[in-house]
Structure 1
Amino acid sequence: MASETAFKPALIIVDFQEDFCPPNGSLAVPQGRAIAPVINTLLTLPFALKIATRDWHPPNHISFADNHPGAVPLQSYHTITHPTDPTKSDTTLLWPRHCVQGTKGAELVPELDVDKIDEVLDKGLDPRVEMYSAFWDPMRVSVSSLGDTLRRNGVTHVFVVGLAADYCVKSTAESAAEEGYQTFIVEEGTRPVMKDTWEKEGKKKVEAKGVKIVSIDGEEIARVRRLA
């Protein structure tokens, strides 16, 4: 095991926003709001960096079903072609309108202890591409500042929580692992859209990409606590 001096963990809270939470969110994740106490507990720990991300879509975003005549939210798919390289494409599920810039649904939930967050990073601003990961879209048309921020702060390990486990949390964690960080999803700090699929298949797939799913009561979080 690396020495404690080589351990500089970051906490990334993905898209803990009103539109992803019951009772009124346009794309509410079942029990999404219930993760607040766990995340707030994690925010009290001595992470070197604490970042919250927000989906922050323009009204004309390509992932909104109502921007595609005849499309049905959560059923229809759309193939996005790279704006400058037509040999690259990405097919995505179309969603109900959600997290539109400046709307109530795009706000971080009031239960979240934002005073303990170092930075709020907006994602999904480019209307041309879908962006689940807080690092980049699948074709890397839109690349956020997250990678640079982690490198600048000397981060070695990344812990991911937020919504939803099987979409933006998963994608953000996989990107962090791809960037070379030891990466963890804290299980109690997230919820999936499709629970059965996540439990039966999703967890195995994310772990196959180098991400470890851990408990808030496990050794990995205990190691963060010991930094105090």
Structure 2
Amino acid sequence: MGCCESSASIQSEVSTSSSLLSSNKPHYLTEQIFKKYDHNGNGLLDVSELKSLMQDAFPGENFSDADMATMHNTLDMDKDGSIGVNELRAFLRLYQPGQQQIRTKTALIIVDVQNDFITGTLANPYSAADIVPIINNLRDKFDVVVISYDWHPHDHCSFVESASEGKVAIKEEVKKFDPFTFVTLKEDKDRPEHQQILYPRHAVQNSEGGKCHKDLVIKDTDLSVYKGVKPNIDSYSAFFDNMKANDTGLTAMLEKENVTDVYCCGLVTDICVKSTALHGAEVGFNAYVIHDASRPLSNDNIEPTKKVLTEAGVGWVTVDEAVKKAAPPKPGPWVLET
């Protein structure tokens, strides 16, 4: 009797695992799927646990040890030796249950290529206009294009002018602040207390400085996302504000388009491009920064930025590498490039 109960239990477990993987949108069930295959309960998938998942995802495939080592290394974006929940989510975005195949769909996220960051109040010192033709030439290599706008109200909390005029609720005594000073924003109903760097007023809604560079190609089919729209909280990332208290809607836009991989470029590498890529990886997209289609606020920040990104599993790629990676994948049920 005990043997029969054990067999029934095993059959139920297999059925549950298979049904989770056969969901139309398996990445929505990432946590449940992860728990099913995390046999030792340590919060990570090792090679043997990943093999169990892959055998259910691709029934009939005979995965060798070498196959599994390659797949595990490929999915292990942060190279820590194990597959975490977000890395599994990135795989499940690729997985097509009905066909039991891997498919990719790419998005180019063009971050804040706006006048104020090129020739205006926060003009970039590294010839930022030079990236405009580079980005224009990249557009058609990707399935989806997103234009991200920094889009602030006139008295935004990130503006040095707002803080100096007492229009921002800060812990410090109101005075004339210098640009790039840190202040502490008081907690409010929208977000917790946190530090904020003060910038010259920039990218004000409906201003000339908030417009994209005149030569940047923008099409009616492009998706648009506006960030930093609330007066009391800043948003470097095109996905969330700086405290992840407010969602811009970009994740839902990309999911509607069935995007799996996001490539970020624009201004500036070490702030908004970095934050966008990090959040993209956090919500389970394969994320990359195209560094030669971007410009930093400071060259001194490039290596630290690269380190933070690569440790988070974000790819640091050139234009040529991005184009190669974004090309349609070779046919096959589970082939993944390393």
TM-score using structure 1 length: 0.90
Question: What is the rounded CA distance, in whole Å, between the counterparts of 1:85 and 1:98 in structure 2?
Answer: 22
Question: What is the rounded CA distance, in whole Å, between the counterparts of 1:162 and 1:44 in structure 2?
Answer: 16
The CA deviation string for residues 106-136 of structure 1, in whole angstroms up to 9 with x for no partner, is 0000111112751221111001001101111
The CA deviation string for residues 3-24 of structure 1, in whole angstroms up to 9 with x for no partner, is 9951111110000000000xx3
Is 2:214 the partner of 1:136?
no
Question: What is the rounded CA distance, in whole Å, between the counterparts of 1:33 and 1:99 in structure 2?
Answer: 16
Q: Is the 8 A contact 2:227 2:238 kept in 1?
A: yes
Alignment: residue pair count: 220
User: Counterpart of 2:137 in 1: which secondary structure?
Assistant: helix
Name the residue aligned to 1:94: 198
Question: What is the rounded CA distance, in whole Å, between the counterparts of 1:37 and 1:125 in structure 2?
Answer: 28
The CA deviation string for residues 133-168 of structure 1, in whole angstroms up to 9 with x for no partner, is 111112223210101101111111000001000000
Name the residue aligned to 1:217: 320
Alpha carbon RMSD of aligned pairs, Å? 1.9
% same residue: 35
Is 2:179 the partner of 1:73?
yes
The code of the aligned residue for 1:137 comes to: D
Name the residue aligned to 1:8: 105
Is 2:319 the partner of 1:203?
no
Question: What is the rounded CA distance, in whole Å, between the counterparts of 2:102 and 2:218 in structure 1?
Answer: 28
Name the residue aligned to 2:123: 28
The CA deviation string for residues 24-76 of structure 1, in whole angstroms up to 9 with x for no partner, is 3110112211111210111121x2210001111000100000111221112x1
TM-score using structure 2 length: 0.62
Unpaired segments ≥5 residues, structure 1: none
- Give, in angstroms, the shift of residue 197 of structure 1: 2.3
The code of the aligned residue for 2:288 comes to: F
User: Counterpart of 2:320 in 1: which secondary structure?
Assistant: coil
Question: What is the rounded CA distance, in whole Å, between the counterparts of 1:85 and 1:145 in structure 2?
Answer: 17
Give the number of the structure whose residues are more often strand, by fraction.
1
Q: Is the 8 A contact 1:43 1:116 kept in 2?
A: no
The code of the aligned residue for 1:29 comes to: N
Name the residue aligned to 1:180: 284
Question: What is the rounded CA distance, in whole Å, between the counterparts of 2:143 and 2:187 in structure 1?
Answer: 36
Q: Is the 8 A contact 1:43 1:117 kept in 2?
A: no
The CA deviation string for residues 83-113 of structure 1, in whole angstroms up to 9 with x for no partner, is 2277x32212100000011111000001111
Name the residue aligned to 2:150: 55
Q: Is the 8 A contact 1:188 1:215 kept in 2?
A: yes
Name the residue aligned to 2:230: 126
Question: What is the rounded CA distance, in whole Å, between the counterparts of 1:138 and 1:153 in structure 2?
Answer: 25
Higher relative contact order (CA 8 A, sep 6+): 1
The code of the aligned residue for 1:221 comes to: V
Question: What is the rounded CA distance, in whole Å, between the counterparts of 2:198 and 2:323 in structure 1?
Answer: 36
User: Counterpart of 2:288 in 1: which secondary structure?
Assistant: strand
Q: Is the 8 A contact 2:107 2:261 kept in 1?
A: yes
Name the residue aligned to 2:116: 19
Larger Rg: 2
Q: Is the 8 A contact 1:164 1:192 kept in 2?
A: yes
